[in-house]
Chains A and B, each alone.
Chain A
């Protein structure tokens, strides 16, 4: 059996989900027998491949760049996994929503700047007015809540998905876990 092509991606999140993914430790070696990581912040691949079997996406959709990425990922992925609370609920990145992006930028780049206060306008992508979970943009196949989901959750979920076994997510994890 050829190895499943797995991608991981990082939108507006803290990378904690990726860290927790790495916390699978030696179990990663077992997984490596079954999967090949074709795209990830953890590997050196610049372009999202055309065909991916499983993509794990961390983080909420907060900028036009995030939106572009998630649509691209969806278009080239068979099974899309929303990884962690930011991707599923908006979580901490969405805490700016009630007050709006202007107030956040003002606080970060003007009020709290010690030198040259200015709101960045080049290179950085434009913010969306409202930070939203990824399933409000594209269809998501599996939801793995948690902040972050535990290494055990990742292992159990991936094993089930790879082997086609039953998967009871609520038995593994919950919001905020």
Chain B
């Protein structure tokens, strides 16, 4: 495979597409499929045949505003339809060439207006199971450029220059990580893609893997070339069957096209990728636990150092990056580090994909430049909280993150700003809460999650989260005391400072941030036995034997 051949494929795809007068793109992301978009697609194919129109019915990845799904976009007119079901197929097909179907049309200009799509540039535009679709949109060009024109150091330099930071949550500078693995001694190295997205309410990585799997594979191949690895693993949770199947198809097609395997594109670079399934443990998103799991051992973390960059999979230097991080690589290589560094804020470059959920009009997947105000994400893109309710808090970073109150909504989103507010970027979950949420109950929900997901290896996380859960339950059922509150705060400090891995170290964040911004709700529960949001039943368990 050469650049010319890639171009040839792209041309033939375009020629093929040109045979059609219209393209009807049907979102086949899990959210839309669960509402029947697969049946819709079949119905559209039949309707198009019956009408004798030249219509390309294409299945695509996530288009974004999931709460409006199933979504359909008709090109070249760029008309977006919402809540489409199989019964609408005839209407849509017959409208082609005429006026759009008014009652299905949705106007989300504001929703899309502030978004900048880098990671999601192809999602909604290509068939994720067709490698040629990806190639037609400049796919694998970056890999070929790297293999034929750049040195490994040159690649690392470009990534460093871009200012890209790990999108899995920690925000470690990607270029620095790559450089460390590249410099680590040893001939055998590994690259690993962390697709063990386990945060409640987060689905960025799933959508990328489902909607544009080749982008991840291309990013991994470039990384492997840069650090000197020849073997890669994608660690995906088994709860993502569609992602696994699309990745499997993508790997097969990439091998068939000679973009994976031995002597890729006639260069001495060899690289292949295996998929490993996670068995549903949140802690396996922590890199040392993930490594243990890939090796076939119990998924528990290990103290670092040594870092995986020096001693990872089977003791070899290992590069671990998140799905979204890899998804950023090809565009950075194609467009240059400076292009990427021009987007975003001072110390957080580029864009970030967020899974916007909760009490908000437009839930779904959004991609915004770093530095954008939280208010813009929630009010403009998300459409704000439903009428009759008021915004209370936004929870970022999943169970490891914190709840940010209304008065801080004008802060720009960046790794450092979120950390300063007592939350984290995390992988990009964003849960909006309104006045119907009790913040004590929210804290309890997240602590319960961490408690059940703690691996049990270190005492503070294993036992401390369980103790915090007991105390929060007491407060929620009206039996908590001010002593309990003090003990809760002590537990937060110890669990945060002494836990072995990130799970425990960040588990107290939802409690700490709600204590910081919504302390009055805790006090109301304790002193006045009242839940301001009316969520907690305040019913204590019967303590006396009847």
Which residues of A come within 8 Å of B, CB atoms?
64, 101-102, 126-130
Contacts and interface: CB of A to CB of B under 8 A. Distances in A.
B542 interface: yes
8 contacts: A101-B545, A102-B545, A127-B545, A128-B543, A128-B544, A129-B541, A129-B545, A130-B543
Given A127-B544, A129-B541, 15 more contacts: A64-B544, A101-B545, A102-B545, A126-B544, A126-B545, A126-B546, A127-B545, A128-B543, A128-B544, A128-B545, A129-B542, A129-B543, A129-B544, A129-B545, A130-B543
A128 B543 CA distance: 6
Contacts of A101: 545
Contacts of B545: 101-102, 126-129
Contacts of A126: 544-546
Interface in B497-546: 541-546
Contacts of B541: 129
Nearest 9 Cβ contacts at the A-B interface: A127-B545, A101-B545, A129-B543, A126-B544, A129-B545, A126-B545, A128-B543, A128-B544, A64-B544
Contacts of B546: 126
A148 B499 CA distance: 35
Nearest to B483: A139
B544 to A, nearest CB: 5
B539 to A, nearest CB: 15
Interface of B: 541-546
A118 B396 CA distance: 58
B540 to A, nearest CB: 11
B475 to A, nearest CB: 16
Contacts of B542: 129
Nearest to A130: B543
A128 B541 CA distance: 12
A67 B196 CA distance: 50
Nearest to B546: A126
Contacts of A102: 545
Contacts of B544: 64, 126-129
B477 to A, nearest CB: 15
A134 to B, nearest CB: 14
Contacts of A64: 544
A130 B479 CA distance: 15
A126 B542 CA distance: 13
Contacts of A128: 543-545
Nearest to B541: A129
Nearest to A127: B545
Contacts of A130: 543
B526 to A, nearest CB: 16
A130 B544 CA distance: 8
B485 to A, nearest CB: 15
A94 to B, nearest CB: 15
A64 B542 CA distance: 13
A130 B542 CA distance: 10
A64 B543 CA distance: 10
A144 to B, nearest CB: 21
A101 B542 CA distance: 13
Residue picked from B541, B542, B543, B545, most chain A C-beta under 10 Å: B545
B260 to A, nearest CB: 55
Contacts of B543: 128-130
A64 to B, nearest CB: 6
A37 B544 CA distance: 33
Contacts of A129: 541-545
A129 B544 CA distance: 5
Residue picked from A101, A126, A128, A129, most chain B C-beta under 10 Å: A129
A148 to B, nearest CB: 28
A102 B545 CA distance: 8
A127 B543 CA distance: 9
A82 B359 CA distance: 50
A127 B542 CA distance: 12
A102 B542 CA distance: 14
B487 to A, nearest CB: 11
Nearest to B542: A129
B424 to A, nearest CB: 35
A102 B546 CA distance: 10
A79 B542 CA distance: 31
A157 B188 CA distance: 65
A101 B541 CA distance: 15
A160 B541 CA distance: 41
Contacts of A127: 544-545
A128 B546 CA distance: 9
Nearest to A64: B544
A46 B173 CA distance: 74
B188 to A, nearest CB: 50
A64 B541 CA distance: 15
A101 B546 CA distance: 10
Nearest to A135: B483
B490 to A, nearest CB: 16
A101 B544 CA distance: 10
A82 B358 CA distance: 49
